[in-house]
Structure 1
Amino acid sequence: MNNNAIIPGFDEEKDDSLKIRLEKISEIENCVVLYLNGYIDTYNSSFFQKRVSKVVESGYTRLVFNCGALNYVSSTGIGSFTAFLKTVKPKGGDVVLLEIQPKVYEVFQLLGFSQFFNIKDSLADSIQFFKTSGTEVKSEVFPKIFACPICSKKLKATKAGRFRCSECKTILAIDNNGQVFLG
């Protein structure tokens, strides 16, 4: 199935530096996978934003970005992902990043954005996330007691975010699911 069959007029504009292929996920309402191939930087980020805005305007609010063939994202590109998240969240949607390359993930981490996104390893994990995200009770996760991964001090997190270990001063991040990362 081609992109125009999913969203009429999607392929009217093209950019050789970033190719986007769409795949509708029929088992999840308003869900689409965007396969990204190439890179996202200052020069093509407006193209990227226009294409994804067209997807959201067509009613898709559950976006899975398959980043397996995305070999570079600048801070401007990460800003685009953040804008999409802000657009779809109020509509009951969400953004999942899939098969993210280590060097691309590093940029998300360096800029402190990795904690805001749902990052999954497979399409099946992404589909499962959207199947359960409507029924999950987030309040069960917090407050969470956990051990610092560096010094093993017992810590308590009342909500998702970044903070410093009171013992060893390591910066940690905890996501909405209660997973702890160095951050």
Structure 2
Amino acid sequence: MTNNDIVPGFDDEKDESLKIKLQKVNEVDGCLVLYLTGYIDTYNSNYFQKRVAKAIEAGFIRLIFQCGGLNYVSSTGIGSFTAFLKSVKPRGGDLVLLEIQPKVFEVFQLLGFSQFFNIKDNLEESIDFFRSGSPTEKTSVFPKIFSCPICSKKLKAVKPGRFRCSECKTILAIDNAGQVFLG
């Protein structure tokens, strides 16, 4: 099955710096895996956005980006992912990023975007994420009451991020799932 069989006209335009292979997920409605190989920068991000927009127009609103073969993403590239999220969310869709290489993930973190995206380790987890319904239905873990792992003082976090324990001044980090780490 070619990309054009899945999304008509998808391969009308190609770019050597970024290869995209599509795979339809039959067990989840409107779900598509996009295998990305290469890099996304200022020069090819427009191409990337146009290809993915085509998939979204074709009705794919649950997008899984397989990023294992992606060795570089500039801030413009990350802007593209944000645009896709804005495009599919109102339609009840979402996106998942898979197997992000550490140096690529670093860019997401530096720009403060890592918390907006669902990041999974494998395809099965990603498909389950969509199978279990839309993420907007899940209840937020915040505000979260927890004990400082160092001095056991009761603390409250209203959102994910980094902060100091008011008692022992240890820097702590709390992720989207409400897990606490030494920051």
Report how far residue 144 of structure 1 moved.
2.0
Name the aligned partner's letter for residue 57 of structure 2.
E
Name the aligned partner's letter for residue 14 of structure 1.
K
Report how far residue 150 of structure 1 moved.
7.3
Report how far residue 59 of structure 1 moved.
0.6
- Paired residue for 2:69? 69
Based on CA coordinates, which of the two structures has the bigger radius of gyration? 2
Report how far residue 3 of structure 1 moved.
0.1
- Paired residue for 2:40? 40
Given that 1:145 and 1:154 are in contact with CA atoms closer than 8 Å, whether structure 2 keeps it comes out as: yes
Question: Structure 1 CA distance, aligned partners of 2:125 and 2:133?
Answer: 12
List runs of 5+ in structure 2 lacking aligned partners: none
- Paired residue for 2:171? 170
Report how far residue 131 of structure 1 moved.
1.2
Given that 1:155 and 1:165 are in contact with CA atoms closer than 8 Å, whether structure 2 keeps it comes out as: no
Report how far residue 141 of structure 1 moved.
2.6
- Paired residue for 2:97? 97
Report how far residue 11 of structure 1 moved.
0.1
Question: Structure 1 CA distance, aligned partners of 2:44 and 2:162?
Answer: 34
TM-score, normalised with respect to structure 2: 0.88
- Paired residue for 1:129? 129
Question: Structure 2 CA distance, aligned partners of 1:182 and 1:52?
Answer: 38
Question: Structure 2 CA distance, aligned partners of 1:64 and 1:130?
Answer: 10
TM-score, normalised with respect to structure 1: 0.88
Match runs of 1:1-183 below 5 Å: 1-134=1-134, 137-139=137-139, 141-147=141-147, 153-158=153-158, 160-162=159-161, 164-167=163-166, 168=169, 170=171, 172-175=173-176, 177-180=177-180
Tell me the SS of whatever aligns to 1:16: coil
My pick for the range that moved more, 120-129 or 165-174, is 165-174
Name the aligned partner's letter for residue 162 of structure 1.
G
My pick for the range that moved more, 91-100 or 126-135, is 126-135
My pick for the range that moved more, 162-171 or 100-109, is 162-171
Question: Structure 2 CA distance, aligned partners of 1:134 and 1:121?
Answer: 19
**What is the count of residue pairs matched by the alignment?**
181
Given that 1:150 and 1:170 are in contact with CA atoms closer than 8 Å, whether structure 2 keeps it comes out as: no
Structure 2 CA distance for partners of 1:111 and 1:181, relative to 1, 3 Å: farther
Question: Structure 1 CA distance, aligned partners of 2:59 and 2:134?
Answer: 17
Question: Structure 2 CA distance, aligned partners of 1:37 and 1:149?
Answer: 41
Report how far residue 156 of structure 1 moved.
1.9
Given that 2:19 and 2:38 are in contact with CA atoms closer than 8 Å, whether structure 1 keeps it comes out as: yes
List runs of 5+ in structure 1 lacking aligned partners: none
My pick for the range that moved more, 122-131 or 161-170, is 161-170
